[in-house]
């Protein structure tokens, strides 16, 4: 999906975002199958490889509706609440023109000159020089900058940083980033689930228990 120019880059990002969302469901099915395969082996270690593969496939068919609903629910939650999660992790908070007139005016002027809807402006308390954009649609778009960046850069430098983040929004790079984070969250969730199930919680084998659980 090579891109040659701004509009093809935007179109390519939209295509990649759709592919990533479809890939999320495929990834969930693969992870469920892998988990079922591990469970079949742990529970009964005396069967052949083909038996394990067939049993895991049967488990996947049974679990597929629940996995599909779970993946869809994950996407819905991420769509509506990803910004709250980002703010909770980074400590970012929205600011108004009255609170940050210099920063707000710089961003507003950039948006007006480029015909871009004004995203929310947020600041996180950090001495680092950093900024990032987030959001999945015009109503959610936000640009977060660190307090260190605001304090140490002049207007021209801050304007360049804000213009860079606006470019990420306009090009659709932000949507891809959020979707990638959603996928990473699914992988992390399944990894944590498998670890707790097989190494901390214990797995029942032939009347006993195997794993890290204590009796």
Q: Which residue ranges make up each domain of the chain?
A: 6-80+174-210, 93-172
Q: How large is the average pLDDT for residues 71-85?
A: 83
Q: How large is the average pLDDT for residues 151-156?
A: 94
The pLDDT tens digits for 176-215 are 777 777 777 777 766 676 666 656 554 444 444 344 443 3
Distance CA 196, CA 159 (A): 47
Q: Is the pLDDT of residue 1 over 70?
A: no
Distance CA 122, CA 194 (A): 37
Distance CA 24, CA 59 (A): 19
CATH class of the domain defined by 93-172 = alpha beta
Judge if pTM exceeds 0.75.
no
Q: How large is the average pLDDT for residues 159-164?
A: 94
Least confident of 14-23, 49-58, 110-119, 159-168: 14-23
User: What per-residue string of b and e applies to 186-212 under the rule 16 or more CB within 10 Å gives b?
Assistant: beeebeeeeeebbeeebbeeeeeeebe
Average pLDDT, the chain: 82
Residues with a known catalytic role: 165
Element (H, E) at 4: none
Cα–Cα nearest to 24, from 191, 189, 179: 179
Q: What is the pLDDT of residue 122?
A: 94
The pLDDT tens digits for 90-135 are 888 999 999 999 999 999 999 998 888 899 999 999 999 999 998 8
């Amino acid at each position: 999906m090579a891109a040659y120019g701004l509009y093809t880059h935007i179109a390519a990002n939209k295509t990649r975002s759709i592919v990533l969302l479809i890939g999320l469901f495929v990834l969930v099915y693969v992870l469920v199958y892998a988990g079922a395969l591990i469970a079949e082996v742990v529970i009964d270690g005396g069967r052949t490889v083909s038996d394990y593969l067939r049993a895991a496939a049967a488990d996947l068919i049974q679990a597929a509706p629940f996995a599909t609903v779970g993946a869809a629910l994950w996407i819905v939650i991420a769509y509506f609440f990803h910004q709250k999660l980002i703010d909770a992790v980074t400590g970012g908070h929205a600011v108004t023109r009255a609170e940050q007139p210099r920063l707000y005016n710089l961003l507003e002027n950039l948006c007006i000159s480029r015909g871009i809807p004004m995203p929310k402006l947020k600041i996180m308390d950090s001495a680092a020089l950093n900024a990032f954009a987030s959001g999945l649609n015009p109503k959610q778009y936000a640009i977060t900058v660190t307090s260190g960046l605001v304090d140490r850069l002049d207007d021209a430098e801050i304007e360049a940083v804000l213009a860079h983040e606006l470019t990420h929004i306009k090009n659709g790079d932000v949507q891809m980033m959020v979707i990638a984070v959603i996928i990473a969250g699914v992988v992390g969730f399944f990894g944590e689930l498998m670890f707790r199930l097989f190494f901390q919680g214990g797995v029942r084998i032939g009347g006993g228990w195997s794993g890290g659980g204590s009796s």
